[in-house]
Structure 1
Amino acid sequence: MTPMKNVDFYDVRVVDATTTSIIIDNGNVEEISVNYTRGGGIRALCGGSWGFTSADGYFNEKKALNAASELAVSMNSRNPKEKVDLKTVGKPTLKDLPRIKVDPRDISIEEKVALLKEMSKRAKLEGISSTSAVYSESEVKVCYNNIDGLDCEYELIRSGFAVSAVASENGIYQAGRESKFGVKGYEIFDETDALELATNAANEALQLIHAKPAKGGNMPVILDQELAGVFVHEAVGHASEADLVLEGSSILENMIGKQIASPLITIVDDPTLHEYGYFPFDDEGAQSQKTTIIKDGVMSSYLHSRETSAKLGGEPGHSRCQGYSMPIVRMSNTYLDNGKSTFEEMLEEIGDGMYLIGSRGGQVNTGEGIFQFNAEKAYLIEKGEITTLMRDVSLSGKTLEILNNVTHVGNDLKMNSGRCGKGGQLVPVSDGSPHICISKAVVGGV
């Protein structure tokens, strides 16, 4: 197969995916869907211009390559850009692939629905006004080939669930949520007590109804593993994505080799971990490998595609896409590595402050290096003791200031899973952290 001459590079990625989704709303089946998709993403590079086309179903690969090639050549002739070089990659080795214990395709829809209904029932405690239980599974096969003769493929199964409960009283609404997703089969329900988590979600919502609204201010804080993991992902992970660095949209531009954080801080992105963001090779065929973003407080590496690594140095392996869209630089499993402190030592150190738990989203500006996240709940810390439960609390600040204000890093790393959005695409990721203690942060409240 010979695409149009004058093309410097091309690749083809074919994806077969089956996704099952079940939603139970207030004990009733709201949705049961099984979707099968097949298609391909085809790229061609001419000079400094990428041509990209996607095709649904079974398609003529030669025609698709010619279409992408014509687009790249046309763009390059009309508006020539600086020539794009790509870092060379070898054939990836498929090793240590996740192995499922219970194939979710062997479990009937009826059995899955029954379990979700029971979860919804367990969450419907007195005072709970609404519940939701969601299950999803996906089986995906990815086949990749390129102009250099690279030809590789893998298959992967992901599954998981989420349950939420909303409590209401006197016009106040509060929610509790629990979830678990992974590169696992249906054994995820054997490894996690989903019914207990459903009750936990309900109890949290009920507790928050009677919690005091938080009062804001500057104070020392402890972040739990989930909120600290969200900070690591959103404020540090995205800023380390090399495409944003090249765009001038990252506070970490020109920071390689510089001390940018407390020496206690080591942040890693590792797609080889059997967490939700796992992949054996990325969507450019580059071998997945552990990348240390920050080592002992020193900026060590950005996350790269083949194009960005050729421009900035570093290793490729973080080019990902949703389905068969255009690949862009993405995280996988991003976490703050364990330190040596205990939670008790942090409480003793902090004296008076606040303990922030969980995440309800937020926003970050990677170019300016500022962020704002909403916690699920918080507790006052008074004289080293956890006291009053608080609700409606947020954390905000400057990324580099917070990184330098970390005084303790715990030894209790925990990962959480979800989906990360960028460029209109969602991909599975995990993020995590141990508990961390920050000497000074801006806490928002009412």
Structure 2
Amino acid sequence: MKNIQFYDSNRIEGRAMVIVLDNGKIENISKNYTKGAGIRALADGSWGYTSVEGDADIQDGIQNAAGLAAGMNQKTPKEKIKLEPISNPVVRNVPAAQINPEDISIEEKVEMLREIEKFAREEGIKNTRVSYSESILKTRYENSEGIEAEYRLVRTGFSVSAVASENGVYQMGRESKFTISGYEIFKKYDPFALAKNAAATAKEMLKAKTPKGGQMPVILDQELAGVFTHEAVGHASEADLVLQNDSVLKDRLGTQVGSPLITVVDDATVHEYGYFPFDSEGVESKRTVLIQDGVMNSYMHSRETAGIFNCCSGNARSQGYSIPVVRMSNTYIENGDTKFEEMLEDVRDGIYLVGSRGGQVNTGEGVFQFNAEKGYMIRNGEIQELVRDVSLSGRVLEILNQVTHVGNDLKLTAGHCGKAGQTVPVSDGAPHLSISKATVGGA
């Protein structure tokens, strides 16, 4: 094909199911089937992309993508794109489902959710919601360089939430688990205990007070520290955002950006929810150290951005067969050596923030605000009263430099990440983190 230097195809065949029970009644049972391919072609500095449904001809798709790329390149020529060279990925150690979820009837799955809901519906609980999801996805990648690889992966997950109310005040507790495994998820985790936890959280939050806000010493639990790692550090480490001047970590490679206690890693090889054996450009998954002992070590890359920075790719991901973009996988802060009790003793008087209820971050300005699920006041080195409606906010680089202790109790939490209109499975995590001074929002 004239002027086309590269093309590839990402073929997807998948099946998914979602079941939702609201107050014990079936709200939704949906099944989804996906089959098709995303095809790209590169002409000098222009990409052409097309998608084909079902068993459509891949060669026709390549011709269409090539025509788009050549047309754009002719109309508005750009500097030639250099792709990082890669070799064929070795697909190994892919986790397999012990219990195929498709071997379990819909009736049995609904009954399981009903049982979970019973444990959440304690006295004082006004509303419950339980959901289950499964997906079985086969991915096959091929490109014009002779790279070919495929894998099949099963993902399952469930969540349970409970709402308690008193005197017009409503509080919610929620628990969820998502894994790269089959229906054995209900053996791996105790869904009934998690349902009781959700109910207990909702009820105890009704009694909690809102603390006075301000700057104070803070300990973050693994979930909230993981959200900070993903949202504030991870996204700012994505090379496409760096190149778009939308990252506070731009031009920071090789410089100190945080405490020497902090090492941040993105690792798609770990068998957590963000796992994949190769990315959407056929690049074998790997471990990338983003921050090493407080020093900015690397960004995350696609083959195109890796060609610009002259380094390694492996973080181009897509939802289904959409256009690949630079994305995280399993992103976390590595373990330190401080025990949680030692952190409490060192903080003496401050606040312990637990869990996450979302928030927002501006990667370009490097500012963030996250809402904790709950908090506990720390007095004289001991955990005291429960508090609610608390948040953490500040500047990314300031918080990274104010970390005084990193725990030895790393824990990852599964979830989903949105970017460029696409959603992909990820995990994020950290050990407990102690911060000398941070802005806590309250009353």
TM-score tier, shorter chain, comes to over 0.9
Partners of 2:263 and 2:289 within 8 A in 1:
yes
Partners of 1:168 and 1:174 within 8 A in 2:
yes
Structure 2 counterparts to residues 210-229 of structure 1, below 5 A: 210-229=207-226
Q: Spell out, residue by residue over 1:159-181, the C-alpha distance to the aligned partner (whole angstroms, 9 max, x if none).
A: 01110011111111111000111
Q: Spell out, residue by residue over 1:138-157, the C-alpha distance to the aligned partner (whole angstroms, 9 max, x if none).
A: 00000110011111111000
| Structure-1 separation of matches of 2:311 and 2:350 | 40
Q: Which residue of 2 aligns with 1:133?
A: 130
Q: Which residue of 2 aligns with 1:381?
A: 378
Structure 2 counterparts to residues 41-440 of structure 1, below 5 A: 41-440=38-437
| Structure-2 separation of matches of 1:95 and 1:27 | 41
| Structure-1 separation of matches of 2:8 and 2:169 | 54
Normalised to the residue count of structure 2, the TM-score between the two structures is 0.99
- Measure how far apart 1:314 and its partner are: 2.2
- Measure how far apart 1:435 and its partner are: 0.4
Q: Spell out, residue by residue over 1:253-297, the C-alpha distance to the aligned partner (whole angstroms, 9 max, x if none).
A: 111111111010000000000000000000000010000001111
Q: Give the residue type in structure 2 aligned to 1:53.
A: T
Q: Give the residue type in structure 1 aligned to 2:315.
A: H
Q: Spell out, residue by residue over 1:72-110, the C-alpha distance to the aligned partner (whole angstroms, 9 max, x if none).
A: 111111111111110011000011111221111111111
Q: What SS does the aligned partner of 1:219 have?
A: strand
| Structure-1 separation of matches of 2:391 and 2:212 | 10
Q: What SS does the aligned partner of 2:436 have?
A: strand
Q: Give the residue type in structure 2 aligned to 1:61.
A: I
Q: Give the residue type in structure 1 aligned to 2:133.
A: S
- Measure how far apart 1:313 and its partner are: 2.5
| Structure-2 separation of matches of 1:380 and 1:215 | 11
| Structure-2 separation of matches of 1:134 and 1:314 | 42
Q: What SS does the aligned partner of 1:226 have?
A: helix
Partners of 1:302 and 1:314 within 8 A in 2:
no
| Structure-1 separation of matches of 2:358 and 2:205 | 17
| Structure-1 separation of matches of 2:71 and 2:183 | 49
Q: What SS does the aligned partner of 2:60 have?
A: helix
Of the structure 1 ranges 426-435 and 94-103, higher mean CA displacement relative to structure 2 is found in 94-103
| Structure-1 separation of matches of 2:310 and 2:333 | 23
Q: Spell out, residue by residue over 1:372-411, the C-alpha distance to the aligned partner (whole angstroms, 9 max, x if none).
A: 0000000000111111110000000000000000000000
Of the structure 1 ranges 386-395 and 58-67, higher mean CA displacement relative to structure 2 is found in 58-67
Q: 2:7 aligns with which of 10, 14, 23?
A: 10
| Structure-2 separation of matches of 1:416 and 1:171 | 32
Provide runs of 4+ in structure 1 moved above 6 Å. none
Q: Give the residue type in structure 2 aligned to 1:331.
A: M
- Measure how far apart 1:198 and its partner are: 0.3
| Structure-1 separation of matches of 2:308 and 2:240 | 10
Percent of aligned pairs with the same residue? 60
Q: What SS does the aligned partner of 2:171 have?
A: strand
Q: Give the residue type in structure 2 aligned to 1:241.
A: E
| Structure-1 separation of matches of 2:6 and 2:211 | 56
- Measure how far apart 1:32 and its partner are: 1.1
| Structure-1 separation of matches of 2:336 and 2:188 | 27
Stretches of structure 1 that go unaligned for 5 or more consecutive residues are none
Of the structure 1 ranges 282-291 and 30-39, higher mean CA displacement relative to structure 2 is found in 30-39
Q: Spell out, residue by residue over 1:312-364, the C-alpha distance to the aligned partner (whole angstroms, 9 max, x if none).
A: 12211000000111000000000000000000000000010000000000000
Stretches of structure 2 that go unaligned for 5 or more consecutive residues are none
- Measure how far apart 1:445 and its partner are: 1.1
Q: Give the residue type in structure 1 aligned to 2:131.
A: V
Normalised to the residue count of structure 1, the TM-score between the two structures is 0.99
Q: Give the residue type in structure 2 aligned to 1:411.
A: N
Q: Give the residue type in structure 1 aligned to 2:127.
A: S
Q: 1:40 aligns with which of 31, 34, 37?
A: 37
Partners of 2:268 and 2:287 within 8 A in 1:
yes
Compute the RMSD of aligned alpha carbons: 0.7
- Measure how far apart 1:214 and its partner are: 2.4
- Measure how far apart 1:213 and its partner are: 1.2
Q: Spell out, residue by residue over 1:224-245, the C-alpha distance to the aligned partner (whole angstroms, 9 max, x if none).
A: 0000000000000000000000
| Structure-2 separation of matches of 1:442 and 1:348 | 20
| Structure-1 separation of matches of 2:211 and 2:329 | 33
Partners of 1:21 and 1:34 within 8 A in 2:
yes
Partners of 2:52 and 2:58 within 8 A in 1:
no
| Structure-1 separation of matches of 2:6 and 2:167 | 63
- Measure how far apart 1:56 and its partner are: 1.4
Partners of 2:175 and 2:198 within 8 A in 1:
yes
Partners of 1:39 and 1:54 within 8 A in 2:
yes
